[in-house]
Structure 1
């Protein structure tokens, strides 16, 4: 889920706060996903949502792809870009959005509900006009549907490509069906709840998307937005190329993006290797939200694979 003004002030009311490791290093605020014991939250063990979000590569690639799609729709483009901290602090913006996503995916019920309420309060203040003078409100249900759908589509397709290429159509639909509670929690009145519905919805939305300078500005920012500094930029640029590559060619053309000639032959092998390495490393990352959630439920982390 991509969050506009909400992420700048998201101080969750549930769990302890402190410091914990970023996937690539550094520190971000921490929430306690281990309590209360036995609370499955919105999804719970065995869900496709728990599996799909366990590898950081999925969140990184799927999240960037989702924002490309969001910014290619004029109303969401204006709402995200005019009311977000992305332009001045893209790393923190991505971290705060990631925290919110983890809270509704792996958090206990109260944490998820508090996240919905806080983000909704922020979004209720987000209004304005698009570049061509059309008015918008961030809480318009159809815009919230698009934001939810792009995130769901991005995460699932990144998971399919880099974690589980053999994922069945039935499990794709299960992922979307499970995510309905999250989309509606953030204010959408309807979201796709099957693979067929998602395909139809994306086809319906495609003509409404357009290439624009905001997408290019976003990509210019995100390709260098890494907490590892100069050493991490080559990897971050490959992740950004992988996000573009995740979009089918017709969507790339509609959004005005394309994979660079230099990245085209290496991006998928490189991301598969990264996903495999991080997947192994994450088995030992005991403080990550997914592992904490497993401890809360008293289950093996095998449910994440």
Structure 2
């Protein structure tokens, strides 16, 4: 079952009309973040990357409601990500500022006595990197392959949001991510919390209407995004291998999510706020470019059903 979002996370993506976001329409970020399957797989992978480090794992487990309300906490994290990409700038800055204020209060010690604080630059950089890479790689592997140029564009367009969170070294490439992983790798370790987290995901609590088979597949797909040596270090063994049937089911669901839109979706509402067709994010990139070019030239464009990514 889902938890109601608190007022601070109840975002109106349609207002104020015309206000730009932090991430431009037609960007690869819009393409990736409109897809719920990519966000689900990538989000879980990001948490696994983060929980490998005892400082982040302790910070989340000891200073949030994750243990008692993992679904609600995940929903709020997801909404913060959505507002960064699709929300008007003023609202995005307000929500991100609120998250930063909460993080200022997060500090403590790991079970081994190592001090940590959520605003440690190294931890901020890693948390941002895991989310950025996780969402992108999930889309690339399970929805639609992206070129090197598209991946670079994705990272560049995410910089403004990362900076607002206090990130000092936003990702500019996959190489940045793997270099950061290599620096932190000696710290990574297995822990029972990792499996507890995956059990929560596979239980289907977040969306009971979706078959548990798909929840289990998404959890295993998330594990598949971990580099083999990290997966081995975290002791996530063969029981988390993704089967061919699960992979095909996820690709089918992901392709469907790339085509099906709804006025309730942030991407749809954000497009309308900007004076674009609501289905803009679901159009093919060339169609998006034509619409944006025509708007810049002052030529009116009409919504066109059936032109999807």
TM-score, L = length of structure 2? 0.84
Deviates more, 1:286-295 or 1:38-47: 38-47
Residue 230 and residue 53 in structure 1: after superposition, are their counterparts in 2 closer, same or farther (change >3 A)? closer
Q: Confirm or deny that 1:201 pairs with 2:197.
A: no
Give deviations 1:176-212, integer Å, cap 9, x for gaps: 1221221221122222222332232233333332111
Which of 221, 234, 240 is equivalent to 1:242?
A: 221
Residue 173 and residue 202 in structure 1: after superposition, are their counterparts in 2 closer, same or farther (change >3 A)? farther
Q: Confirm or deny that 1:160 pairs with 2:140.
A: yes
Contact 1:148–1:183 under 8 Å retained in 2: yes
Secondary structure at 2:256's aligned position in 1?
helix
Deviates more, 1:259-268 or 1:233-242: 259-268
The CA deviation at 1:60 is: 0.4
Residue 198 and residue 298 in structure 1: after superposition, are their counterparts in 2 closer, same or farther (change >3 A)? same
Which of 169, 177, 191 is equivalent to 2:148?
A: 169
Q: Confirm or deny that 1:298 pairs with 2:275.
A: yes
Which of 78, 92, 96 is equivalent to 2:72?
A: 92
Correspondence 1:99-248 to 2 at 5 A: 99-165=79-145, 167-229=146-208, 232-248=211-227
Contact 2:220–2:241 under 8 Å retained in 1: no
Residue 264 and residue 250 in structure 1: after superposition, are their counterparts in 2 closer, same or farther (change >3 A)? farther
Contact 1:8–1:93 under 8 Å retained in 2: no
Give deviations 1:35-78, integer Å, cap 9, x for gaps: 22222210021212111111100110000000001000111111
The CA deviation at 1:262 is: 7.1
Secondary structure at 1:102's aligned position in 2?
helix
Q: How many residues align?
A: 280
Q: Confirm or deny that 1:269 pairs with 2:265.
A: no
Residue 196 and residue 8 in structure 1: after superposition, are their counterparts in 2 closer, same or farther (change >3 A)? farther
Correspondence 1:14-29 to 2 at 5 A: none
Secondary structure at 1:260's aligned position in 2?
helix
Structure 1: state its 5+ residue gaps: 1-6, 13-28
How many Å separate the matches in 1 of 2:216 and 2:173? 32
How many Å separate the matches in 2 of 1:292 and 1:147? 28
How many Å separate the matches in 2 of 1:197 and 1:209? 18
Contact 2:220–2:240 under 8 Å retained in 1: no
How many Å separate the matches in 2 of 1:77 and 1:265? 31
Which of 240, 258, 264 is equivalent to 1:279?
A: 258
Contact 2:23–2:86 under 8 Å retained in 1: yes
Give deviations 1:205-227, integer Å, cap 9, x for gaps: 33332111121121122211434
Deviates more, 1:145-154 or 1:209-218: 209-218
RMSD: 2.2
Contact 2:5–2:72 under 8 Å retained in 1: no
The CA deviation at 1:30 is: 4.1
Partner of 1:24: none
Structure 2: state its 5+ residue gaps: 283-308
How many Å separate the matches in 2 of 1:290 and 1:209? 36
How many Å separate the matches in 2 of 1:32 and 1:9? 13
Contact 2:121–2:167 under 8 Å retained in 1: yes
